[in-house]
């Protein structure tokens, strides 16, 4: 099945075009603030049989993207989290309230890891979600991304203006201290979730890691880390193949 998968995030709209065998033929992105930039790329694609989308950027952006979609053999499928899908069961108090991007990432991680795992997607915000060995989503947390953390310090303090910095074990200047603090906070959230999973009975849960800030935190993590370019797109593609 020829599929167009679209991940509408807070900062970027990422998309991928896959062939019947499941391989990505082409991928791209546009700023969420200017979705019209997608029109030229999508008009050059072969007509897709299925379009499946995830949106966390609100109704106005959804309407803009919907107007740009190429004709397809089937109506577009806008993913929404549910109680169970594609081998994942939800333990969320209100399953439908989970973000579609988190749900897609969980579906992808279930099939990539094949067992208990921490699903971390590090972008504008970072989501850290726990899957047990039976595919049950136990829950997770949301953390401000590295840039948001640094911007908050610059905005809400008198002496911590936004500045350049690099990671260090023992930072010896303010720029590095702020940057390292953000990285350690992100990595710490992932490692803590690993610890909680182990306390719940999982044996050495792996981390399935994705997102624009993945490279910042990957070296700070322990155990097995499976780096995936775009977990949400991978999950959307799996839903397109078998939505049940």
User: Rounded to the nearest 5°, which phi and psi values hold at 16?
Assistant: -145, 145
DSSP structure class, residue 97 = G
- In whole angstroms, what is the distance from residue 222 CA to residue 204 CA? 10
Token pair in block for residue 65: 């993207």
d(CA 154, CA 149): 9
Q: How many CB atoms lie within 10 A of CB 241?
A: 15
When computed from its CA atoms, the radius of gyration of the chain, rounded to whole angstroms, is 19
Long-range Cβ contact pairs of 193-201 (< 8 A, separation 24 or more)? 193/118, 193/120, 193/128, 193/129, 193/130, 193/140, 193/141, 194/118, 194/222, 194/223, 196/130, 197/116, 197/118, 197/130, 197/132, 197/138, 200/130, 200/132, 200/138, 201/132
Strand partners for 4: 17, 51
Q: Cα separations (Å) of 42 from 56, 62, 71, 131?
A: 21, 16, 10, 34
Residues, the chain: 244
Q: What residues are labeled active site?
A: 101
């Amino acid at each position: 099945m020829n599929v167009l998968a679209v991940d509408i995030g807070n900062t970027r709209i990422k998309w991928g075009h896959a062939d019947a065998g499941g391989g990505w033929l082409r991928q791209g992105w546009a700023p969420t603030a200017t979705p019209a930039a997608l029109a030229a790329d999508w008009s050059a694609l072969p007509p897709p049989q299925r379009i499946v989308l995830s949106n966390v950027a609100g109704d106005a952006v959804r309407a803009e993207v919907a107007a740009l979609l190429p004709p397809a053999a089937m109506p577009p499928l806008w993913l929404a989290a549910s109680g169970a899908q594609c081998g994942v069961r939800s333990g969320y108090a209100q399953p439908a309230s989970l973000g579609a991007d988190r749900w897609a990432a969980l579906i992808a991680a279930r099939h990539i890891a094949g067992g208990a795992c921490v699903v971390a997607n590090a972008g504008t915000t970072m989501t850290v979600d726990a899957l047990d060995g039976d595919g049950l989503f136990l829950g997770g947390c949301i953390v401000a991304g590295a840039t948001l953390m640094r911007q908050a310090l610059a905005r809400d303090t008198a002496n911590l203006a936004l500045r350049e910095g690099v990671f260090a074990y023992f930072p010896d200047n303010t720029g590095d201290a702020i940057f390292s603090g953000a990285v350690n906070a992100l990595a710490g959230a992932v490692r803590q979730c690993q610890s909680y999973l182990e306390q719940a009975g999982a044996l050495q849960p792996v981390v399935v890691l994705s997102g624009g800030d993945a490279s910042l935190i990957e070296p700070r993590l322990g155990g097995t880390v499976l780096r995936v370019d775009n977990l949400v797109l991978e999950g959307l593609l799996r839903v397109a193949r078998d939505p049940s």
